[in-house]
Structure 1
Amino acid sequence: MLISIRNKKTYRPLVLTAIILSMFMAAIEGTIVSTAMPGIVSELGSFSLFSWVFSSYLLMQAVTILIFGKLSDLFGRKPIFIFGVVVFLIGSFLCGYAQSMEQLILFRFMQGLGAGAVQPIALTIVGDMYSVEERSKIQGYLASVWGISAVIGPALGGIFVQYIDWAWVFWMNIPLGLLSLCGVMMFLHEKTEQKKQVIDYKGAFLLFISITSFMLVLIEGGVRWDWLSLPIVGLTIIGGGGLVLFIIQEKRIVEPMMPLEIWKYRLILLANAATCTSGMIIIGVSSFLPTFVQGVMEETPIVAGFTLTTMSIGWPIASTIAGKLQLKIGYRNTALFGGVLLLIGGLLFVLLTPERGPLWAGAGSFFIGAGMGLSSTPFLVAIQSSVDWKMRGIATASNMFMRILGSSIGAALLGSILNSRLKEHLIAYQDDPEQSLTIDQANLLLDAEKRSNLAEETLTILQDGLTLSLKSVYMGLSIIAIITFVFIILLPKNKDEKSETS
């Protein structure tokens, strides 16, 4: 085990600065790519693969985040963090050179592999360096830094796409990652106890197979394959079988990738469940809102970026408040306030129409961001405080895993809803050979020049189809917000926290 990260050789302010840079990199990556995707799709084509750009990245994070959390408990935080940053930077470099959507998806897998180590280990290092009292404030600062940096992302993504080149949304990660690497390598010092390590690679593989199968079902079901077709049925069986074998594997192995006992704590179970569903909400907003603003409202990438920037403003403001508020009224009541704001944001998106304009869309984003800020910080602090040092890495990783898993499922599920509804809409016009439209022709809406060359009738058909499809997506998002609120209500009250987590 690690002895103590708080010793005379570790310079906390400089290590914290390096961690902040890595969080900044992660924040920029998320918001820039979301804003840039309409421009990327308009150039590379294959609109039907839109959600895979997000899903591939999130899938690798979901599969690796737990095993990297476990590896950090065994080998130390520093080497795992360094590995993650290096792989993330290589993936970012290659993404900028992608010549097709298939290549971009492949390189996003590599980015996700690196991100699976960077994000949970960064938060765990902070958890090691600071006491419980300090941690609440520092985690709030980290969330604020993430949010403040994310304010730059959407607008910057719009500028890159509109005036420079979309490749820079990936390449700008490189200097940030190198600075973060230098800080951790030079100023973080820790000791590990030498012992035989048992790594649950089989568990990781089974989880990968299971999640990948279910994501294929969600994304391709009703679009490429019928719901009762042999591929869908086969993938469902593979996914279910892989999940059962994963649980069996975790029960029998000495060092499981995900110790099942952590799920016996009511606080951890419910906080992680709410984190999972809130991850679905956040990906639903960030993935599809820029497409609506650019493709249906016919606004520029910069304006689309603005609608996501408001979410990034609401998040850090609420996170800063949450760090102080939970010390006064408790994590549960603080999270409840966040749940209410998520409900308001979901309602605003359900009522979103092209006529309401980007300001309405930005208001919905702001409430979603504020709701995330008031709920995510209390969840993480409560979970880290409920376990000892030996379990803190995997407990932190479990929370990150559930958010990434939620985002993965959300990207696949909501992407499936989008494609299925759009396909249904376009099928109605297939009888006319001159109006034979496909899902991938929605690419044309995302480029102003190509859009202007469309016949008026074709433009109307595509925009109406995209509007109806995204309306269904936001209905789903609103339902998920309600489920999240229910999970928060079921959290143990503060007076029960000690008994639940001791």
Structure 2
Amino acid sequence: MDQTDNNTQIKQKYRPFILASVMLAMFVGAIEATIVSTAMPAIAADLGGFQLYSWVFSSYLLMSTVSVLIYGKLSDLFGRRPVMTFGMVLFLIGSILCGFAVSMEWLIAFRFIQGIGAGAVLPIATTIVGDIYTKEERAKIQGYLSSVWGISAIMGPAIGGLLVETVGWQYVFWVNIPLGILSLTGLWIFLKEDIEKKKRYVDYKGAAFLTATLTILLYLLVEGGVSVSWTSWIVLALIAAALMFLTFFIRHELTAEDPMMPFSIWKNRSIFIANVVSLATGVLLIGISSYLPAFVTGVMEQSARVAGFTLTAMSIGWPISAVVAGRLLIKIGYYRTSLIGGCALVTGAVFFVLMDPSYGPLWAAMSSFFVGVGMGLTTTSFIVSIQSAVPWNQRGAATAANMFMRNLGSTVGVALLGGILNSQLRSSFKESSLEEVRSFDVNAVNELLTARGRESLDPSVLDVLQQAMTTGLNSVYLVVFLFAAISLVLILFLPKNDRSS
């Protein structure tokens, strides 16, 4: 008992240092998202291959989505620190390689490596906080963690735009390296874990089934209707294979000794709805963060810094609302806090649907801000409620499951929305009255992404390309609105008497 009390006192003594290390790790993961989105127009213009634009995000999201559940479970078995270390090191190696990419294909390959590591960073960082703070403290601390998203996303687009315009887009990948090393140093010095030594069962078979399912699904969404006809036998065979692997995964997880995704936690209605809403908001979030910079740069003809500002607005709303959510959770409970967040998501999505190039970047920024408010309120509510509903030995898996669902939404979303955009662009080109444009492929919009490229185009061609991009992105934002509406409807089914205290 004395030893236990002593360990508790030591953990409490070092909590501020552990929290700082965790926040730094989250900063590394969070800034990667906004800084790369901001730099992507420049990267696509330099490396070419706009048709592969969505794969730069999809490859990263696919591996982080699959690995997040594995890392969450491994952290319950082997401890948070060693698993976080492995993931962060892999993430940093991938980041170094991305900066050396000489083609879009190589960049996508290196993003796979980066994504495998990224799956450990955010969920385990969040889980560590759940371990060292009490239920009552988590609402407040989650607000602090969400502020990291705001700080990183305010700095991310600004730094991304500055790096692109000065030293080059390669540095958007390299800027995280010293920060990641510093975070790991803090965790190894201050985070002490008492892990029971026994034989561990790792659900590799479940991970393999899930990886196969998601890989096939992602390929279908990205390439369906583009390089592969939806009516071809190849698509039918791939759909059948995806359903087969999904069935294998579910059956295996239900009978596994220690499953990667314990379905028992999904029996809790709050967890179930929170996870499904996270799936929907993942689609919404990636639809905005991936394609808004391309719209602001290519159609509104603004600089990379201005495009970054429109995303920054989302990240200003996110931390502000997350801090407020910490207080609202105690006063009005999970249900009302989440409901307010759902309304904000729908409001932001409506503004995106109504957006016109003539409205300028301020309209885009305002739309982003409302989405950020909604994300801050809902994500904070969900994480606090989920971590309070499960014991320590399931907290890593439960936290990872929620992030898995949001990542899955983003993975499916970037592929689905990328497919919609590419298909819409092809259709617009074919219907153009200009013979030159009718022969264009999707990569023609690369010229819109830089001022030099736009200046090289004939005014009539420039106008057609910008109209095609606007039409395509309007379709994307209609889908974004649909998922925002689905999120709000699902939130209505949360338990209404659920309080954080």
**Both proteins in one fold, TM over 0.5:** yes
Query: Any idea what the Cα deviations from partners look like across 1:128-149, whole Å, max 9, x if unmatched?
Result: 0011111111111111122122
1:8 maps to 10
Q: In structure 1, which of residues 312, 334, 337 is the aligned counterpart of residue 337 of structure 2?
A: 334
> What percent of counterpart residues are identical?
53
Q: Distance in 1 between matches of 2:189 and 2:498?
A: 43
Q: Distance in 2 between matches of 1:332 and 1:488?
A: 7
Q: Secondary structure at the match of 1:330?
A: helix
Q: Are the counterparts in 1 of residues 420 and 475 from structure 2 also a CA contact under 8 Å? A: yes
2:204 paired with 1:201? yes
2:337 paired with 1:352? no
1:168 maps to 171
1:466 maps to 469
Q: Distance in 2 between matches of 1:193 and 1:435?
A: 66
1:143 maps to 146
Closer, same or farther: CA 496–380 of 1 in aligned 2, 3 Å: closer
Residues matched between the structures, number: 496
Closer, same or farther: CA 430–91 of 1 in aligned 2, 3 Å: farther
1:246 maps to 249
1:266 maps to 269
1:481 maps to 484
CA RMSD of aligned residues (A): 1.6
Q: Are the counterparts in 2 of residues 6 and 129 from structure 1 also a CA contact under 8 Å? A: no
Q: Distance in 2 between matches of 1:495 and 1:26?
A: 31
2:316 paired with 1:313? yes
Write the letter of the residue equivalent to 1:450.
G
With 399-408 and 142-151 compared, the bigger mean Cα shift is at 142-151
Q: Distance in 1 between matches of 2:310 and 2:437?
A: 36
Write the letter of the residue equivalent to 1:33.
V
2:284 maps to 281
Q: Are the counterparts in 1 of residues 298 and 466 from structure 2 also a CA contact under 8 Å? A: yes
* 1:497 Cα deviation after fit: 9.2
Q: Distance in 2 between matches of 1:373 and 1:6?
A: 31
Q: Which runs of 5+ in 2 are unaligned?
A: none
Give me the TM-score of the superposition, normalised by structure 2.
0.97
* 1:454 Cα deviation after fit: 0.7
1:381 maps to 384
Closer, same or farther: CA 38–434 of 1 in aligned 2, 3 Å: closer
* 1:163 Cα deviation after fit: 2.0
Match runs of 1:298-447 below 5 Å: 298-429=301-432, 432=435, 435-447=438-450
Query: Any idea what the Cα deviations from partners look like across 1:382-403, whole Å, max 9, x if unmatched?
Result: 0110111111111111111111
Q: Are the counterparts in 2 of residues 430 and 436 from structure 1 also a CA contact under 8 Å? A: no
* 1:241 Cα deviation after fit: 0.8
Query: Any idea what the Cα deviations from partners look like across 1:349-408, whole Å, max 9, x if unmatched?
Result: 000111011000000000000110011100110011011111111111111111111111
2:113 maps to 110
Write the letter of the residue equivalent to 2:217.
F
Give me the TM-score of the superposition, normalised by structure 1.
0.96
Query: Any idea what the Cα deviations from partners look like across 1:255-285, whole Å, max 9, x if unmatched?
Result: 1110111111111110100111111111111
Q: Distance in 2 between matches of 1:328 and 1:371?
A: 18
* 1:191 Cα deviation after fit: 1.5
Closer, same or farther: CA 497–137 of 1 in aligned 2, 3 Å: closer
Q: In structure 1, which of residues 173, 178, 181 is the aligned counterpart of residue 184 of structure 2?
A: 181
Q: Distance in 2 between matches of 1:324 and 1:102?
A: 46
Q: Are the counterparts in 2 of residues 429 and 436 from structure 1 also a CA contact under 8 Å? A: no
Closer, same or farther: CA 71–430 of 1 in aligned 2, 3 Å: farther
2:214 maps to 211
* 1:432 Cα deviation after fit: 2.5
1:293 maps to 296
2:94 maps to 91
Query: Any idea what the Cα deviations from partners look like across 1:279-329, whole Å, max 9, x if unmatched?
Result: 111111100000000011111101101100100100000000001111000
2:30 paired with 1:24? no
Q: Are the counterparts in 2 of residues 430 and 437 from structure 1 also a CA contact under 8 Å? A: no
Q: Which runs of 5+ in 1 are unaligned?
A: none
Query: Any idea what the Cα deviations from partners look like across 1:104-140, whole Å, max 9, x if unmatched?
Result: 1111111111111111110111100011111111111
